Amino acid sequence: MTRDQIFPRLIGCLLFVLAALASAPAVFAQSNNGDTDAVVVSPLSLVPVEDLNFGNLIPGATGGTAVISPAGGRTVTGSVVAAGGTVSNAEFQGYGTRNRYVYISTASSSYRLNRVGGGANMRLRSLTLQADNLTPVNFPGLFRIASTNVITLRIGGTLDVRANQQAGVYQGSFPITMNYY
């Protein structure tokens, strides 16, 4: 065979191999499943959207407070120093019908946050409420629903930080009850 005969056959062979490789399935292909969630909520219910979070705090020699407003702003008093971290007001949402009444209440005026791992606690008190789509009525905690729509409750509070409070993560909970009339 001459060079003129070998060269076209070599090119043809290389094109065949290239076409075979391009059409072959990927050797390292993997598949997996993704997760998805949906929660269908009935009318006249209340669901949590965001947790009340005071962020990172540095206690001082005399103690003080950290306050989260219903709008989500944080202030500190005494020798407490705000040190970044995630800060948020608590948020709940419900759905109501126009002109119905709702009574919003909590179980107590203060709640305990316990240190993960034990050994210390802090007190959460003075919960404050800001509500969308609710009109206050002349009775504490009673509101009229302004329109048939989503009701949003934003809650802030005051955290008492002791002098030289033990370092760690503190967790607790507070119940919110919404009675529809």
Residue-wise pLDDT for 38-58, tens only, equals 878 777 788 999 999 999 999
Closest-CA residue to 91 (of 39, 53, 122, 55): 53
> pTM for the complete prediction?
0.77
How many C-alpha atoms does 23 have within 13 Å on its Cβ side?
Answer: 6
Mean pLDDT, range 74-86, rounded to an integer: 97
Residue-wise pLDDT for 6-29, tens only, equals 555 656 554 555 555 555 555 566
Residue-wise pLDDT for 94-152, tens only, equals 988 899 999 999 989 999 999 999 999 999 999 999 999 999 999 999 999 999 889 99
